Amino acid sequence: YGVVLDAGSSHTSLFVYQWPADKENDTGVVTQVAHIDVEGGGISSYKDHPEMAGQSLVPSLFNATKLVPPERHHETPISVGATAGMRLLRKQNPEAAERVMESVKTALRATPFLFCSARILTGQEEGAFGWVTINYLQGNFLQRDWLSWVRPRGAKTVGALDLGGASTQIAFVPAGGALSGTQRFRLYGYDHAVFTHSYLCYGKDEALMRVAATLSRGNSSSDVEVTFPCYHSGFEERLEVGYMFGKPCTAALKPAVGPRGGGGGAGSGPLQGRVLLRGSGQADQCAEAVAQIFNYSSCAGRKDCTFDGVYQPPVSGSFMAFSAFYYVMDFLKLRGEGNVDYIRNVVKRFCNKPWNEVRASSQTEQKHLKSYCFSANYLLQLLFHGYKFNLSTWMNIKFVKKVEGIQAIGEAGWALGYMLNETNLIPVELAPRAIPEAAFGSTLALLSLLLAALLLAALAYTCASCARWAPASRA
């Protein structure tokens, strides 16, 4: 057994995994036992009260102990991987990030499980482990034959697209190889080289805040009202200026002149006042606003460059898109749709709906419902103009929450890939000691003699019974 906690920017998920004691070429054949959503926000949200980060995990950790046999608790590794939310907190406040992680470690060490690690994953690790997960579940590494597990002949891997709250990741095996950005794995006795890149501040939540900050930065009055085309008409949201521009992803957008007389340029003292985002529900204007946060000119037209000057080989092969990619397309009922014009029309019609109509027709929580118009426009901008999918390669993207593959059924995400990689480091459980060959021969001979003796005794008893009843038969 193994337990992995995915500590994301907006929430934490706990996964319990299981695999046979015998491994295949040093890697476990892992199955998911359970998925538990931890109550509350992501652990980075406890930066002002770090002790609560660990406490927030306790109920879910207790539930996990009931899913693993008690006699296995002491040998069940447990790990936490924190992702982009904590990467941003470490960038903004390293001491707070360290206190949060120490609180998490304390909570894990208090469990009966075998504490393994609690650390902040790199973006490249997050992307690569997501790639491992979907390809494992698809059966691209290993499949069950009649007698054993075998590597499938001619199996092709699929790429992974992950969209979180604070970052987005892409991972795939390029058709012509990669010049840089390669992550290497050894799984089931075979080596894999995967191109992967993570874009911090390009998760959907941070991207929304960057778009709002971009539209607000030209104002210097104490209370700013901004028309926000990515929110539905009739919806309003008020944000503190200090909160909007005090985040690592928006700090560079800080107004040169602060509200209420806060002079100086970007990086000057704390800003005061509030920003009122007033929704107008205009999909075309929303798409234009979203495009402003991508620096495409830095690529100077190069085909092996996405945005912000980042190298990426051209996308090739099939892809699975999960996390927020899935939730947005699922909400709009577009997961299986390949006609891009139809998708854009659906997004436009949805954005044009007034807020009271949207709220009345959905049971989705307001904190998610308010931003689907933005997220849909952002998703299309990121995939088509950022990652450079086109009308043809778009057809190779499948939006998934779970992967129902040849190998198994499991959640798409990095946690299973992390667990698979960890099983390479976990010793194989000792099998019962085999009987030595000489002893086996002696045992077999003794059993043969006993069987012969039993047969002779049975035969003698049968003959005696026949002799006893013979006179009575003649009478």
Residues with catalytic roles: 126
CA angle (111, 66, 105) in 5-degree steps: 20
Q: Can you read off the two tokens belonging to residue 434? A: 């085999």
Task: Give the residue numbers of the binding site for ATP.
Answer: 165-169
Task: Give the residue numbers of the binding site.
Answer: 165-169
426: helix, coil or strand?
coil
Q: Are 228 and 236 in contact (CB under 8 A)?
A: no
Distance CA 220, CA 261 (A): 8
Pairing label, strands 223-228, 274-279: parallel
Distance CA 76, CA 312 (A): 38
Distances (CA, A) of 378 to 30, 168, 367, 456: 35, 12, 17, 85
Distance CA 32, CA 27 (A): 15
Amino acid at 315: V
The string of DSSP codes covering 313-372 is PPP-S-EEEEEHHHHHHHHTT-TT---HHHHHHHHHHHHHS-HHHHHHT--S-HHHHTTH
Q: Can you read off the two tokens belonging to residue 467? A: 């002799």
Amino acid at 132: V
Name residue 236's beta-bridge partners: 278
Longest dimension (CA), the chain: 131
320: phi then psi, degrees, rounded to nearest 5: -120, 125
Distance CA 466, CA 472 (A): 11
Distances (CA, A) of 455 to 426, 452, 468: 50, 5, 20
Distance CA 241, CA 288 (A): 23
Q: Can you read off the two tokens belonging to residue 472? A: 């009575």
Q: Can you read off the two tokens belonging to residue 6? A: 């995915």
Name residue 247's beta-bridge partners: none
Distance CA 184, CA 252 (A): 34
Q: Can you read off the two tokens belonging to residue 436? A: 């030595």
Distances (CA, A) of 279 to 165, 234, 345, 398: 21, 6, 19, 31
Q: Are 107 and 60 in contact (CB under 8 A)?
A: no
